[in-house]
Amino acid sequence: MGKSLRVGIIGSGVIAPTHIESYQLLKDVEVVCACDLIADKAKQVAEKYKIARTTTDYRQLLNDSTIDLVSVCTDHASHEQIVVDAFRAGKHVVCEKSLAARSDQLDRILAAHAAHPDLLFSGIFQHRFDGVNRAVRRLIAEGKLGKMLTANMQIRCFRSDQYYSDGWHGTWAKEGGSVLINQAIHSVDSLAWIMGGISGISAAHANLNHPDSIETEDTITATVRFANGALGTMEATCASHINWEITQEFHGTLGSIEVRDGAPRKVVFTDLVLQEQVKNILETANDPRGVEAGRSYYGTGHPAQIADVVDALRNGRAPFVTGEQASHAVRIVLGAYESQRTGGWVEVPAAMEAVAVAAKGVDF
| CATH number for the domain harbouring residue 47 | 3.40.50.720
With contact defined as beta carbons under 8 Å apart, do 272 and 279 qualify? no
DSSP for residue 263? E
Asked whether residue 160 falls in the same domain as residue 113, the answer is no
What lies within 8 Å, CB to CB, of 96 at 6+ separation is 11, 15, 19, 71, 72, 73, 74, 79, 124
CA dist., res. 214 & res. 64, Å (int): 38
Written in H, E and C, the secondary structure of 154-206 is: EEEEECCCHHHCCCCCCCCCCCCCCCCCCCCHHHHHHHHHHHCCEEEEEEEEE
Asked whether residue 40 falls in the same domain as residue 168, the answer is no
Three-state DSSP class for 354? coil
Sign of CA dihedral 128, 195, 75, 84: positive
pLDDT in tens, 78-90: 999 999 999 999 9
- The DSSP bridge pattern shows strands 198-206 and 346-347 to be antiparallel
With contact defined as beta carbons under 8 Å apart, do 175 and 220 qualify? no
Query: Left, alpha or beta for 19 (phi > 0: left; psi -120 to 50: alpha)?
Result: alpha
Cα–Cα distances (Å) from 160 to 15, 169, 361, in that order, read: 18, 11, 39
Give the per-residue pLDDT at 290: 54
Residue 276 falls within a domain, yes or no?
yes
Asked whether residue 87 falls in the same domain as residue 146, the answer is no
Residue 96 falls within a domain, yes or no?
yes
Residue 119 falls within a domain, yes or no?
yes
CA dist., res. 293 & res. 260, Å (int): 21
DSSP for residue 74? S
Three-state DSSP class for 270? coil
CA dist., res. 224 & res. 346, Å (int): 10
Give the per-residue pLDDT at 360: 33
Total structural domains within the chain: 2
With contact defined as beta carbons under 8 Å apart, do 216 and 171 qualify? yes
Cα–Cα distances (Å) from 347 to 174, 229, 333, 336, 354, in that order, read: 24, 14, 12, 10, 20
Residue 293 falls within a domain, yes or no?
no
Q: Which residues of the chain have pLDDT under 50?
A: 1, 297, 352-364
Asked whether residue 169 falls in the same domain as residue 191, the answer is yes
With contact defined as beta carbons under 8 Å apart, do 195 and 114 qualify? no
Give the per-residue pLDDT at 75: 96
Asked whether residue 171 falls in the same domain as residue 62, the answer is no
CA dist., res. 301 & res. 291, Å (int): 8
pLDDT in tens, 257-302: 999 999 999 999 999 999 999 999 999 998 755 555 555 545 578 9
Asked whether residue 115 falls in the same domain as residue 159, the answer is no
Give the per-residue pLDDT at 286: 84
Cα–Cα distances (Å) from 158 to 176, 183, 209, 244, in that order, read: 19, 10, 10, 7
Asked whether residue 54 falls in the same domain as residue 95, the answer is yes
Residue where one domain finishes, among candidates 111, 126, 141: 126
Residue 363 falls within a domain, yes or no?
no
Give the per-residue pLDDT at 3: 73
190-206 CB burial, b ≥16 within 10 A, e <16: bbbbbbbbbbbbbbebe
Asked whether residue 67 falls in the same domain as residue 163, the answer is no
CA dist., res. 131 & res. 300, Å (int): 10
CA dist., res. 124 & res. 94, Å (int): 7
Residue 10 falls within a domain, yes or no?
yes
Give the per-residue pLDDT at 299: 53
Asked whether residue 40 falls in the same domain as residue 13, the answer is yes
- The parent domain of residue 63 ranges over 5-126
